[in-house]
Amino acid sequence: MPHLRLEVPAEWLTPEFREATGFHAEKLLAVLVQTVAGLTMVQPDSDIRLEVPMIQLRNLKHAIIPVYGAGVGGDTSQQFLHITLAAGNDTPGRTAKVRYRAAEALGRVADEFTAGLPGLASITVHIQDIDRSRGYSTTAERRAYFAGKA
């Protein structure tokens, strides 16, 4: 299943930081989830050009991950946000170009949401396409495997 993670400096998750800056990580995550819901790609096995969702929203897991001791270039007064979208299984059509467009879309939304946020040095976006041949498995697959071993 696909998942979206927003890594945020832990001190930015406090009520004091929220009140001082207006930054709400939960609201940013909600905007990112809706952005993911709108991402499309061309269905690869169709004779006609058909846009399909890049991710099925009903399957998307999402979370805020607090980051401790963060900094940029050794300067802890400079902070960063990191957004990772693991796009699920190795789906045909989810090409590098599609993943790049997704990264650009999520980055633009995050840039707009955080414009003027003090101490923010960088926002990075990473789109992963999970490749089963490189060691990815799900709970359901492991349960089925071990049930067959009994």
Whole-number pLDDT of residue 43: 74
Question: What digits encode the pLDDT tens for the residues 77-98?
Answer: 999 999 999 886 566 667 778 8
Residues 5-19: what's their mean pLDDT? 97
Question: What digits encode the pLDDT tens for the residues 129-140?
Answer: 766 555 566 677
The total domain count for the chain is 1
CA atoms within 13 A on the CB side of 42: 9
| Mean per-residue pLDDT over the chain, rounded | 87
Largest CA distance in the chain: 58
CA distance 18 to 13: 7
Question: What digits encode the pLDDT tens for the residues 106-133?
Answer: 999 999 999 999 999 999 999 887 665 5
Phi, psi of 100 (to 5 degrees): -65, -45
Domain that holds residue 31: 3-149
| Closest C-alpha to 32, from 59, 3, 52 | 3
Residues 52-74: what's their mean pLDDT? 91
CATH code of residue 132: 3.30.429.10
Whole-number pLDDT of residue 135: 59
Residues with Cβ within 8 Å of residue 113, at least 6 apart in sequence: 27, 28, 31
At which residue do the structure tokens 């992963």 appear?
128
Whole-number pLDDT of residue 94: 73
The residue that leads in pLDDT, 54 or 8, is 8
Residues 38-42: what's their mean pLDDT? 85
The answer to whether the pTM exceeds 0.75 is yes
